[in-house]
Amino acid sequence: MKLHFDHALVTQLLAHAEAAKEHTPTFDQLYEPTFLKDGKETQSPSYDDIDLTKVPAGLMLVGDNGIYLMSNGKPAFKDPENEGNLVAYAFEADPPDDWWHMKQAAFGGDDGAEFLAAEAIRNALEATKGGRFWLDVSPTRISSPYLAPPRRKRALASKK
């Protein structure tokens, strides 16, 4: 299902993540050995075991009360209009509207967060410039638009 987001807001979220020196890991990233603090070895890592400077910049696609993107940068990007984090809701799954069925169809029944690398977001922002940023999301796959590399012009063979 294609989910659309405010382009300018996604741009702000990405800028925050890329400017941060530390990044919050997703649950799956807790189990990535390269993010552990030096000398740390564990089968059951916690956030205290993670070196937040090793976690890459990016956005988290979150499915819980709706579907939204948020920066993984620390400190969190606070929303100036309320007490929570600044997030970009998918227009199709933005509470209080009828978001539950859209969230289930796109993200699945469980709540969670998926990491999206900064480079992929940057490429998708460029590919959707002048319109809404979008992601194609299903419970098993997330894809984003990208710009194809420019085609090389073929040299015309001259006939003799």
Query: Using CB atoms within 10 A of its CB, is residue 158 exposed (0-12), middle (13-18) or buried (19+)?
Result: exposed
What are phi and psi for residue 33, nearest 5 degrees? Answer: -55, -30
What pLDDT, on the 0 to 100 scale, is given for residue 159? Answer: 46
Give me the pLDDT at residue 160, please: 44
The whole-number mean pLDDT for each consecutive block of 10 residues of the chain, a chain of 160 residues, reads: 94 98 96 92 89 97 91 95 91 78 76 93 94 89 76 51
pLDDT for res 158: 45
Token pair 């070196």: residue: 51
pLDDT value of residue 148: 59
Reference 6, options 146, 133, 125; nearest CA is: 133
pTM, two decimal places: 0.85
Helix (H) or strand (E) holding 88: strand 88-89
**CB-based contacts of 1: which residues, under 8 Å, 6+ apart?**
92, 102, 105, 106, 136, 137, 138
